[in-house]
Chain A
Amino acid sequence: MNRGLTRRTVLGYAATSLALSTFTLPGCRRDEPVQLADALRLLVDNSPTFTEVGRAFLNENPTEDTASLTAWLTEALEWLPEGSGASLGPRLANAIRSDFTEGRTLPVSNWILSETEARWTALHALTMPAAG
Chain B
Amino acid sequence: MILDSRQAVPGTAFEADVCIVGAGAAGISMAMALADRSLDVLLLEGGGFTYEQPSQDLYIGPEEGTLIGTDSLYMGGTRLRYFGGTTNHWHGWCRPFDPEDFERREWLGDFEWPISFDDVAPWYPEACKLLQISPFDYDQETAGDYGRVLADDPHFETNFFHLSPPTRFAQQYRQTLQSNPRIRVLLHANVRKFDVDDQARHITGIDVVDAAGSPLDVRARHYVLAAGGIENPRLLLTSDTVAKNGLGNDHGQVGRYFMDHPLQRIGSIVIPHMRSELPKTYSQSFVVSRNNPIQAVVRARPEFQKQHQLMNAAMVLSPMRFDKVDGLTRPMDFLARNIAGLAGLESPEESEGAFYGWIYIHGEQIPNPDSRVRLSRQTDPLGVRRPRLDWHLTDTDVNSLRRTTRLFGERLGARLEGRCSMLPEDSPWDHAHWSNHHIGTTRMSASSRSGVVDGNCRVHGVDNLYVAGSSVFTSSSCSNPTLTLVALSLRLSEHLERTSA
Chain A interface residues toward B at CB < 8 A: 43-46, 49-50, 52-53, 56, 89-90, 92-94, 96-97, 99-101, 103, 105, 107-114, 117, 121
Chain B interface residues toward A at CB < 8 A: 267, 327-328, 330-332, 334-335, 337-344, 348, 406, 409-416, 419-424
Tell me whether A101 and B410 are in contact (CB under 8 A): yes
Separation of A45 and B413 alpha carbons in the complex (Å): 18
A52 to chain B, nearest CB (A): 5
11 of the cross-chain contacts (CB-CB < 8 Å) are: A45-B337, A45-B338, A49-B334, A93-B343, A96-B416, A97-B413, A100-B413, A107-B424, A110-B423, A111-B328, A117-B335
Tell me whether A52 and B406 are in contact (CB under 8 A): no
Tell me whether A112 and B409 are in contact (CB under 8 A): yes
Tell me whether A100 and B420 are in contact (CB under 8 A): no
Tell me whether A109 and B410 are in contact (CB under 8 A): no
Tell me whether A112 and B421 are in contact (CB under 8 A): yes
Separation of A109 and B267 alpha carbons in the complex (Å): 11
Separation of A105 and B423 alpha carbons in the complex (Å): 15
Separation of A101 and B415 alpha carbons in the complex (Å): 9
Knowing A43-B342, A94-B343, A112-B409 are in contact, say whether A121-B424 is a contact too (CB < 8 A): no
Q: Most A CB atoms within 10 A — which of B327, B337, B339?
A: B339
Tell me whether B343 and A112 are in contact (CB under 8 A): no
Q: Which of B338, B340, B416, B421 contacts A110 (CB 8 A)?
A: B421
User: What chain A residues lie within 8 Å of B334 (beta carbons)?
Assistant: 45-46, 49-50
Q: Which of A52, A103, A114 contacts B331 (CB 8 A)?
A: A52
Knowing A43-B342, A93-B416 are in contact, say whether A49-B410 is a contact too (CB < 8 A): no
Tell me whether A112 and B339 are in contact (CB under 8 A): no
Interface of A, secondary structure class, is helix
Tell me whether A108 and B328 are in contact (CB under 8 A): yes
Separation of A100 and B344 alpha carbons in the complex (Å): 18
B415 to chain A, nearest CB (A): 8
Knowing A93-B343, A100-B413, A105-B410 are in contact, say whether A112-B328 is a contact too (CB < 8 A): no
Tell me whether A90 and B342 are in contact (CB under 8 A): yes
Separation of A97 and B410 alpha carbons in the complex (Å): 9
Tell me whether B406 and A90 are in contact (CB under 8 A): no
Tell me whether B328 and A117 are in contact (CB under 8 A): no
Separation of A113 and B331 alpha carbons in the complex (Å): 12
Chain A residue nearest in CB terms to B336: A117
Tell me whether B422 and A110 are in contact (CB under 8 A): yes
B114 to chain A, nearest CB (A): 38
Tell me whether B344 and A109 are in contact (CB under 8 A): no
Q: Most B CB atoms within 10 A — which of A93, A97, A99, A105?
A: A93
Separation of A45 and B411 alpha carbons in the complex (Å): 23
Q: Which of B267, B339, B344, B419 contacts A92 (CB 8 A)?
A: B339
Q: Which of A90, A111, A121 contacts B421 (CB 8 A)?
A: A111
User: What chain A residues lie within 8 Å of B412 (beta carbons)?
Assistant: 100
Tell me whether B414 and A97 are in contact (CB under 8 A): yes
Knowing A49-B330, A53-B335 are in contact, say whether A113-B267 is a contact too (CB < 8 A): no
User: What chain A residues lie within 8 Å of B421 (beta carbons)?
Assistant: 109-112
Separation of A93 and B416 alpha carbons in the complex (Å): 8
Other 5 A-B pairs with CB < 8 A, given A43-B342, A114-B413 = A45-B337, A46-B334, A100-B412, A101-B410, A108-B328
User: What chain B residues lie within 8 Å of A100 (beta carbons)?
Assistant: 410-414
Separation of A121 and B339 alpha carbons in the complex (Å): 12
Separation of A97 and B339 alpha carbons in the complex (Å): 10
Tell me whether B410 and A112 are in contact (CB under 8 A): yes
Separation of A15 and B331 alpha carbons in the complex (Å): 28
User: What chain B residues lie within 8 Å of A44 (beta carbons)?
Assistant: 338
Q: Which of B337, B339, B411, B414 contacts A117 (CB 8 A)?
A: B339
User: What chain B residues lie within 8 Å of A89 (beta carbons)?
Assistant: 342
User: What chain B residues lie within 8 Å of A52 (beta carbons)?
Assistant: 328, 331
Knowing A110-B421, A110-B422, A112-B406 are in contact, say whether A49-B414 is a contact too (CB < 8 A): no
Q: Which of B338, B344, B419, B423 contacts A113 (CB 8 A)?
A: B419
Tell me whether B339 and A103 are in contact (CB under 8 A): no
Tell me whether B328 and A103 are in contact (CB under 8 A): no
Separation of A52 and B328 alpha carbons in the complex (Å): 8
Q: Most A CB atoms within 10 A — which of B409, B411, B412, B414?
A: B414
A79 to chain B, nearest CB (A): 15
Knowing A49-B334, A52-B331, A114-B413 are in contact, say whether A97-B343 is a contact too (CB < 8 A): yes
Tell me whether A53 and B339 are in contact (CB under 8 A): no
Q: Which of B267, B343, B409, B415 contacts A90 (CB 8 A)?
A: B343
User: What chain A residues lie within 8 Å of B328 (beta carbons)?
Assistant: 52-53, 56, 108-109, 111
Tell me whether A101 and B414 are in contact (CB under 8 A): yes
User: What chain A residues lie within 8 Å of B424 (beta carbons)?
Assistant: 107, 110
Tell me whether B341 and A45 are in contact (CB under 8 A): yes
A84 to chain B, nearest CB (A): 15
User: What chain A residues lie within 8 Å of B327 (beta carbons)?
Assistant: 109
A92 to chain B, nearest CB (A): 6
A76 to chain B, nearest CB (A): 14
